[in-house]
Amino acid sequence: MKQDLSYSQAWKPMTGSFSARELGDSTIELDIGVLAEVGASFEFAIYSETEQRFKDMEGWSEEAYYFMPLSISHDTTTKLTIARGIAWGIPLSAPVRIDFPGLGYSLHGEWPITVVGSQRSAASRNPIDPVKLMMEELSIASRRRFASSENRGSDNIPAISVDERSFGVTAVTPSIIADNSPPSTVPLSVFFRSKRLFVITMALAAATAIMVWQIVLARQNAEELSRQVSTAIDGLQAERSAHLATQSVLAATKRELASKLTNQRQLNAERERDQALSEATLARSDLQREREAHAATKERLGAPLEQLETERGNSNSNQASPTQPKANVATDRAGLSECDSLAANPNDLRRVANGVPFPELRANALAAIEACDRAIAANPYELRFQYQKARALHAANDGRATAILQELMRVEYPAAFDNAAQLLVNQNRFREADNLYRRGVALGDPDSMIGLADLIRAGKIAPRTFGEDFALYERAASLGHKGAQNEVEKRKGADQVLQFGLGVAKEILSR
């Protein structure tokens, strides 16, 4: 378990070193070398001088990890029983420090493991070679059991009395045995002439058994590994099949959605086209009716108008003023129609009056529509009156404006493109509005230039060139557009302030 204890304190090294040995397959006995108090805390951390990190249950960590012993015994020294897994990953003969916060000191030493048991009594820091151990044990046993009487004086092995007859081998040969003769006894030394032969034979047998056992174990491990690999391959195959099935379903769903989206777009386009055609048809019908009404009015008023013209010609025949044009219906003394006074666009290149701003037109929209109807009735082929009526209808939010503007754009009346684009902007149809604005710009309409520049600055459409918005403002300003002229003046003033600031900064830096 990890604790938030600092290792900045100086640990008191303990004289001597710890020792550790295996008690079994799952436990280790750790001898700390002193007889500690019974009530002391025996939490401990293992620090590897080689790794320069602390041991934990998964490997090595930068932070201290404290272990708890399984049991504690107090004899001549204090011994801790710990889990065998704590030692996993600690190399043999590795310099190790064991810290005991409860005792206030550290133990320094290497990490030896003493293997205990009747057949493994030697302490070793290296892996045990079972063949070598077996040969050593058999060699010791053979020297003790089969030392001959003539060599007993020269060997440094305690002499052991051996009765060869007790170790004899009874050999029975049918061809030489008499009826009542006892079987002959052959001494054991006949079968084993030399103790070396016996040791080598036993060692080879042990080595063969160990090799067979290792081969069987390796085969079992290989079979287990093969089963695991096969299971993993089957799992991967199943996951791949599921992934492919999912991809197929997603692809089919994507195709279906794309098809539905395409159909919906086509349906919307067809609806818009049908609506535009319907509005255009209605506008044509209205224009046709107005033309018929105008023709009837003209036919009905033809004679009075001719008489009036004759009278005006006679009254002005002696004056040097230029000849007056035919009078229009609903005109003032300055020769401008009431439609021009109420609905003209101040930025229309074809206007004949000063024009009315759009907010003011919105307040008098109905009167402007009636005045323009009278002007159209008198001059049905004058496009200026048609545009000013559409502008008044636009101000009144009357849907009839769309059809009239379509007809005017067909004959490329410049100012009509700005109003038609504004109707599209109100519907968030920015791409179509972009196209109409650019057509109006190509015809030199200042309002179309300002509308396009405003859309670019608002981020609704992308500019085609760098600084296109300001270039449009400058062009509209050159055509007399008041709003564009104000914007250009602001821009120039900001540039002058910026240039002044840069000059001051340069002067300060040069000092």
CB atoms within 10 A of CB 241: 10
pLDDT tens string 74-117? 888 899 999 887 887 788 778 888 988 888 878 888 876 654 44
What is the average pLDDT across 323-351? 68
Tell me what pLDDT residue 491 has: 74
Tell me what pLDDT residue 446 has: 93
- Between 171 and 184, the higher pLDDT residue: 184
Q: Is 192 a residue whose pLDDT tops 60?
A: no
The chain-wide mean pLDDT, for the chain, equals 76
Q: Which residues contact 90 (CB under 8 A, 6 or more apart)?
A: 46, 48, 55, 96, 111
Tell me what pLDDT residue 416 has: 93
The whole-angstrom separation of Cα 83 and Cα 361 is 95
pLDDT tens string 201-231? 888 999 999 999 999 999 999 999 999 999 9
Share of the chain above pLDDT 70, in %: 69
Could you give the 3-state DSSP secondary structure of residue 343? helix
Tell me what pLDDT residue 166 has: 36
Q: Is 186 a residue whose pLDDT tops 60?
A: no
Determine the residue type at 203.
A
Least confident among 45-54, 99-108, 302-311, 387-396: 302-311
- Between 168 and 257, the higher pLDDT residue: 257
What is the average pLDDT across 110-137? 51
Q: Is 478 a residue whose pLDDT tops 60?
A: yes
What is the average pLDDT across 407-413? 93
Tell me what pLDDT residue 274 has: 86
Given CA atoms 420, 426, 428, 430 in this order, what sign does their dihedral have?
positive
- Between 109 and 62, the higher pLDDT residue: 62
> Using 50, 70 and 90 to split pLDDT, how confident is the model at 158?
very low
Least confident among 56-60, 158-162, 226-230, 372-376: 158-162
Tell me what pLDDT residue 271 has: 87
Tell me what pLDDT residue 305 has: 54
Smallest CA-to-CA distance from 473 within 496, 457, 494 is with 457
Least confident among 379-388, 458-467, 500-509: 500-509
Could you give the 3-state DSSP secondary structure of residue 36? coil
Q: Which residues contact 72 (CB under 8 A, 6 or more apart)?
A: 42, 78, 79, 80, 81
> Using 50, 70 and 90 to split pLDDT, how confident is the model at 197?
confident
Q: Is 3 a residue whose pLDDT tops 60?
A: no
Q: Is 136 a residue whose pLDDT tops 80?
A: no
**Exposed, middle or buried by CB within 10 Å (0-12, 13-18, 19+), for 228?**
exposed
How crowded is the C-beta side of 407, counted as CA atoms within 13 Å? 22
Can you list the positions of beta strands (E) in 59-139? Answer: 60-61, 71-74, 78-83, 95-100, 105-110, 113-115
Q: Is 21 a residue whose pLDDT tops 60?
A: yes
Tell me what pLDDT residue 440 has: 93
User: Are 102 and 40 contacting, i.e. CB atoms less than 8 angstroms apart?
Assistant: yes
Strands, sheet with 19-22, edge to edge from the N-terminal-most edge strand: 71-74, 78-83, 27-31, 19-22, 113-115
The whole-angstrom separation of Cα 448 and Cα 347 is 10
Mean pLDDT comparison of 21-30, 78-87, 322-331, 447-456, highest-scoring range: 447-456
Using CA atoms, how far residue 80 sits from 54, 233, 319, 458, in Å, is 19, 46, 137, 78
